[in-house]
Amino acid sequence: MVVVGGKPEGRFTEQHDVFFGVAAELKELVPAIYAFWPALEGKMHIDSWRKVTKVGRYAIDIVPKNNDKDMEVNKLYFVNLGGYKQDDMEEYHYKQLVVASNLGDATRIAKESTFWKHHESSHIDDKYGIDVDDIYEVSDLLDPRFKEQYSLQITDDPSRTEDELEVGYLKISKLIAANFES
């Protein structure tokens, strides 16, 4: 899970998006990240990233694609919550991953976050009629090449170590030249 940013031509402020991919090292994702946002190729940076191996009490593993129909009861959801503060022109966002059996449960879990306690009002999204800006199954966000080769395996494992969140400006050109692991 990678938060990428940059200023597309003709924009006045930096823009951001979230990219999901599968790789042994973060730098291996660069071609797919550029394909994901071609207008910023060579002009984008990474603001944060996370190797997703645990969400809540669940272990998340990448496994070779099984030709049988996916029988997972739980799914991994990406949720982008939006909210406002009085007298502040900004819409704030809180990005999180949630394991749930369906969209309704994922929404309920996401709305239990502390994000809402710090904002005057939530953003009501016309598409879903719920207090989220975006909610997707992560498997639907993967590049088709990743989806053809891999599946997400979700198992109940509260003993797994929490993921480390890497936060801070990282130029992709420096990433390519360095040995960062994803």
The answer on pLDDT for 122 being more than 70 is: no
Which residues, 6 or more positions from 137, have their beta carbon under 8 angstroms from its beta carbon? 75, 76, 77, 78
Question: d(Cα 91, Cα 78) in Å, to the nearest integer?
Answer: 18
Which residue segment(s) compose the domain that 11 sits in?
Answer: 1-51+164-181
Residue 104 token pair: 């309704």
Residue 28 token pair: 């291996």
Report, as an integer, the average pLDDT of 59-63.
96
Confidence of residue 166 (pLDDT cuts 50, 70, 90): very high
Residues 159 and 176 in one domain: no
Residues 37 and 10 in one domain: yes
The pLDDT value recorded for residue 85 is: 75
The tens digit of pLDDT for each residue in 27-39 reads 999 999 999 999 9
> How many structural domains does the chain have?
2
Residues 79 and 111 in one domain: yes
Residues 169 and 135 in one domain: no
Residues 146 and 81 in one domain: yes
CATH code of the domain in which 15 resides:
3.10.20.10
Residues 144 and 173 in one domain: no
Query: What is the model's pTM?
Result: 0.86
Cβ(53)–Cβ(152) below 8 Å? no
Long-range contacts of the stretch 124-132 (C-beta < 8 A, 24+): 125/82, 131/81, 131/107, 132/79, 132/80, 132/81, 132/82, 132/107
Report, as an integer, the average pLDDT of 47-59.
97
Residues 44 and 106 in one domain: no
Residues 15 and 66 in one domain: no
